[in-house]
Structure 1
């Protein structure tokens, strides 16, 4: 028996050694190509932090960082293929700790109650809300009868009242309704509280009354001076280019979307041209490329300069300065920061005589962005930007020595344009579909007709307009810019008007995007035939996506809406009100119906699946039989007065507080505030948003400042 055990252990040891030797050989074969995996490992650590159902203690971060340091030490002591495993562990640990440190550094008070009354603050941001009204962000906030230690650092208010002239640094007052940033509309859905946490937004709301100026604008900081400059430029642009064309122009030059109508935004989204609104890699690349080429051409045409200066490097320095100015002018949001970092890495490569565009430069840019803002990993902007860039670099790298390079002239340019648009669209389509649940069927056509014009007309005209603006001569360049933007808007509305221009996609389960990303990255980064193994997790992710389950019943966190899955799609308990929840639920189902159509699916009293004939159904009580049991939605005080009780066991959802009743499992606003939104499966299992979010800083935020 002892002999058998010894033979078994020897066999296990031999198998382990063979696996280690095989791993060592594989990793040695990848030497020189492992650096692009560094941001992937960092992202794994960041994602691990955000996936936790609880907030790790400081000691946990210390332990994780210590383990990472030990693994890194082992990798440095014993070089070779296996040393890469030590680097992987160290980068994962660093990503985990970076995310934790950033989360705690962004801590700020969040109001824990609904507030109505005067709000005073300083204007530090202006944009446009989804309801197509101006939206202002305030700091240095004051609220009535609220102690300073409970005041939120920033609030954001949608202005539904009379138009107001707002300036950067201006101190204003209005009467507003404020509430804490809302949680997810369904468990495991998008959590706005997380986004608000990293923006230090402690309250959001709306105002219907006038806005009063308390103090004139003050520009006592660099950020406010830049914000004031953006507003001045935006006003000068919209004076020359009124309407949506001017709003589009200000969006691509200063990042200000406050004057662009919601109709134009929807058309751009439906035609897959919404990426032209965000100042991202395309705009920064076009700007930097134009400045670089113009400076290089100018210097080359001056013989004394061309003979004495490294023209290419001087042009790169000039393009760097232009990129830095554009970053500051556009507000330095996350998307623009990503684009700026990538542009600076590419131009830096020119300065040191390296290849400007490579997977290594993309990896450096991703590392810088993740170190600065780990939370960017969760946003669609980061994911789509780096997915498109990585795919383009990989594909054109594979084709660098391919026969297609024999093409010349317009054939080469046309092939490059079509291929780049196709690759970028394919790389970003799954990410956009997962986040926004829509897919543009004709987006490639719209991009082929629009993107070239951005490069040859719109961005060069924008650069010239900015150069001429100090002289007050920007009108001519802006008019030329307007021609291009009018064409793009015309294309957007034309494509958006096609039948079935926009498809609707089921919301995938949480594991789908990470699996798809890792599989795709394996195909693009791994060298040799082994890259084909990346197809397996990518295909598995698509299969999981197709079979992603949706909740049978959804209940909003205010009790104002109930959605039940039926054979015709999700039936909603109301045709008006709670529109945000209704849109999100239907989008998650991949359902293109609007709220009134979804409400018409709710069975009437006496119909199959509906309640027994009961006049209360017409008085604010909607009852439906589901596989999970009988559910009643009591709407408002009228419904509460008409509701007669529960003759059979019922789950009762109500938008007003209600006393306990026999046979009723009541979910009213006080109870729903503790649970958040609710999802029910067909077998009656319940999952709440509170359970899904866990106890994290953004789901259980501080109500007071530390003294």
Structure 2
């Protein structure tokens, strides 16, 4: 049967039935805003917990050990009162026991360990205070002192500064005599060296406090340096006996001075003093104008023997040793010359540490380089944040008080920032920065070009990173920044790295043979170029004062630095929040309206614009320069006597440098009459202090009237209009008793140090009072306890012996001290 053809049919596709629309369940409510915030917070906490556990597995938390110890030491030194041993020991033991009990719970374990380490840092700090136990003089006195020379410094002004170990005092004999004093003299007999015993009449006074609240505290540093008094010789010191016994440190001091003298003989002028500072750490002879120029241009770090100098010395030594060993190819091919060179470089930088004086920056640099060189000798990774952490732990164990100083803070901050930036750059994805690295298949010219580009980029990056990392500490301690520091470092770094330091090392090597002069001449030429660049940029640098900043901004920005360099996970992203908090605190800081020195003799008030008004004529004074930076002032307005009130001047007469306060010199004049008082009140101005007969008046921009008086008896008319009285007289009597005014007297300043005063914006009233911040808190810490024994703190005037004072009366005065 024939096959039937199949009819072509087109089947229509079946259409699926439309799905029923989903109906929203009415029983599921929408999340509220607080619930969303809570959920986001839970997610953030979970991710942070995971990142923290990951950091622990990577060993990053070990880097936090010196951070926790440093926080404990810093908290101890900044505490308002002295904590007891029992409290600190319990603070260490309890968290340590809790950490052992919570090893199965990572977060609790980490938190307990952190608290224990913080407490351990505080214990180390208190132990250092106990170990120091420096005897500090309570008040000024003159006596005949006999002591052994520990150190000799030739100052730039021609004077000589001595550090003496006190043997005895006579006429009068001090019942509580310091063990070590620092004295200056106009002239020192030729041939006197460290270890010699000398004697002479001296004027001693206690170490002073800070010139700004929260600023550098001279009494704090002196306490841990063992210095119990400062002063000067009233008569030329006489030799009692020559060097009678050998001592390592005095021999080392004499060696440093001999080397410095040979350097000065080869290089004259400031260049020789800078060369001595770079090679043996003797910095006292550098002229102040050179120091100021280097500070303004951000080159002052070159004078401090730190990482740059140690690294250059180690690199030159290591390269030289390897080159010398390569001269014996048979022996070098069978032995690890790199390891021998690392050990030789370690020995050389240890000798450099000893001969340089061993300040905190040099110690940190030596510890880091020692760890790096030992790592090279043991085939381990040389550069890491762990090496920096070990160095910080060693410094905190040996000298916890360094945590509050600028050297420790700036040195470790710069190094941490550079290591952190290098680790980020080394692990970065290919980009324009990583393409700068020389490649294997590059042409030799291309390799040289890449290497030069890498060198330039590295120099710029190093200057920027180190500058940003240390800027906040420079502002906190010195109230200044260096706007042209990048240009200065770019111009000077090649000179120091290629000319100054290599030839300095060569000069030290050949110095035993008397051949150092040829190399030092080249060093001097390099330093001359450095000084010329610094002076040129300093003259064109804008005003670098930034004023006082709050301590909270320093803490926030330090936390931002640590958060950006220590973590390896996304915990780094918390650093911008910390930085924003620090910048916000800095932006909302207010400057003091007035500053009063701790002896009540110098008063400065902010005027219109960048000016400050003084109550006495003064120029080239350390305190004044610090106050100008703190109050962001570049012009000083001297006081105007009442007789010249009609012809005021807006500048200090620099030709007249009267260091005696106008108020003190006028205190010998008769008190003001009614007519003089009315005339003085009529001439009160906000342009300058107006002074007459020991009384100075000025008006602040807020309308507050300030009176600075050398006499206790202040006219009633002055008390009626004054809002603030600065009493310079050492008396327990209070003036203006019946008037509601604020009084800052010399006795309270002797107790609590420099005062920073802020006036309310609105009118002074019961609800808007004058705010006064002192530089020293009570109860006293150990390094300030001597203040309660001063004559000023007891309301007594300075001791002035009569011309024919007997030895018994002098001894009685000494007993009162």
For 1:292 and 1:236, the matched residues in 2 are separated by 26
TM-score by length of 1: 0.89
For 2:335 and 2:175, the matched residues in 1 are separated by 58
2:138 match: secondary structure? coil
TM-score by length of 2: 0.78
Change (3 A) 1:601 1:411: closer
Is 1:27 equivalent to 2:52 in the alignment? yes
Change (3 A) 1:629 1:259: closer
Q: C-alpha offsets along residues 318-372 of structure 1, whole Å, 9 cap, x if unaligned?
A: 0110011011111122222122111112112212222211111111111111111
Change (3 A) 1:279 1:548: same
Is 1:297 equivalent to 2:323 in the alignment? yes
Structure-1 residue corresponding to 2:148: 122
Change (3 A) 1:320 1:595: farther
2:331 match: secondary structure? helix
Structure-1 residue corresponding to 2:603: 562
- How far does residue 409 in structure 1 lie from its aligned partner after superposition? 2.6
Q: C-alpha offsets along residues 52-86 of structure 1, whole Å, 9 cap, x if unaligned?
A: 100011111211121242244235x4274653323
Is 1:64 equivalent to 2:64 in the alignment? no
Change (3 A) 1:216 1:506: same
Moved more, 544-553 or 47-56: 544-553
Name which of 687, 694, 705 aligns with 1:630: 705
- How far does residue 18 in structure 1 lie from its aligned partner after superposition? 8.8
Matches within 5 A, 1:235-384: 235-384=261-410
Change (3 A) 1:581 1:489: closer
Is 1:546 equivalent to 2:546 in the alignment? no
Structure-2 residue corresponding to 1:697: 782
Name which of 190, 212, 222 aligns with 1:196: 222
Moved more, 677-686 or 491-500: 677-686
Unaligned runs of 5+ in 2: 1-38, 437-449, 641-648, 653-678, 760-767, 790-813
For 1:250 and 1:578, the matched residues in 2 are separated by 26
- How far does residue 277 in structure 1 lie from its aligned partner after superposition? 0.8
Change (3 A) 1:274 1:20: closer
- Aligned-residue CA RMSD (Å): 3.2
> Is the CA contact (8 Å cut-off) linking 1:135 and 1:157 kept in structure 2?
yes
> Is the CA contact (8 Å cut-off) linking 1:561 and 1:573 kept in structure 2?
yes
Structure-1 residue corresponding to 2:772: 687
Q: C-alpha offsets along residues 563-597 of structure 1, whole Å, 9 cap, x if unaligned?
A: 22333343221222793332222221222335759
Change (3 A) 1:65 1:530: closer
- How far does residue 144 in structure 1 lie from its aligned partner after superposition? 2.8
Q: C-alpha offsets along residues 513-537 of structure 1, whole Å, 9 cap, x if unaligned?
A: 1211111110122223331211111
Is 1:677 equivalent to 2:754 in the alignment? yes
> Is the CA contact (8 Å cut-off) linking 2:592 and 2:757 kept in structure 1?
yes
Is 1:406 equivalent to 2:435 in the alignment? yes
For 1:140 and 1:104, the matched residues in 2 are separated by 21
Structure-2 residue corresponding to 1:518: 559
Higher helix share: 1
Aligned residue pairs, count: 685
For 1:221 and 1:172, the matched residues in 2 are separated by 17
Matches within 5 A, 1:481-560: 481-500=523-542, 502-560=543-601
- How far does residue 399 in structure 1 lie from its aligned partner after superposition? 1.1
Moved more, 266-275 or 188-197: 188-197
Q: C-alpha offsets along residues 29-50 of structure 1, whole Å, 9 cap, x if unaligned?
A: 2121222222111111111111
> Is the CA contact (8 Å cut-off) linking 1:24 and 1:80 kept in structure 2?
no
Change (3 A) 1:336 1:141: farther
> Is the CA contact (8 Å cut-off) linking 2:72 and 2:122 kept in structure 1?
yes
> Is the CA contact (8 Å cut-off) linking 2:372 and 2:383 kept in structure 1?
yes
For 1:681 and 1:518, the matched residues in 2 are separated by 29
Structure-2 residue corresponding to 1:3: none
- How far does residue 452 in structure 1 lie from its aligned partner after superposition? 2.0
For 1:631 and 1:378, the matched residues in 2 are separated by 35
> Is the CA contact (8 Å cut-off) linking 1:675 and 1:688 kept in structure 2?
no
Is 1:389 equivalent to 2:389 in the alignment? no
> Is the CA contact (8 Å cut-off) linking 1:161 and 1:209 kept in structure 2?
no
Matches within 5 A, 1:1-16: none
- How far does residue 233 in structure 1 lie from its aligned partner after superposition? 0.6
Q: C-alpha offsets along residues 447-479 of structure 1, whole Å, 9 cap, x if unaligned?
A: 111122222222221221111111112111212
Change (3 A) 1:499 1:406: closer
Change (3 A) 1:691 1:431: closer
- How far does residue 394 in structure 1 lie from its aligned partner after superposition? 1.1
Structure-2 residue corresponding to 1:657: 730
Is 1:619 equivalent to 2:693 in the alignment? yes
Is 1:107 equivalent to 2:133 in the alignment? yes
2:784 match: secondary structure? coil
For 1:410 and 1:315, the matched residues in 2 are separated by 27
Moved more, 178-187 or 664-673: 664-673
Q: C-alpha offsets along residues 263-321 of structure 1, whole Å, 9 cap, x if unaligned?
A: 22122112211111111111111111111122123223421232222111111100110
- How far does residue 687 in structure 1 lie from its aligned partner after superposition? 3.4
Change (3 A) 1:93 1:471: same
> Is the CA contact (8 Å cut-off) linking 2:612 and 2:637 kept in structure 1?
no
Change (3 A) 1:114 1:649: farther
> Is the CA contact (8 Å cut-off) linking 1:194 and 1:698 kept in structure 2?
yes
1:34 match: secondary structure? helix
Structure-2 residue corresponding to 1:464: 506
For 2:530 and 2:635, the matched residues in 1 are separated by 28
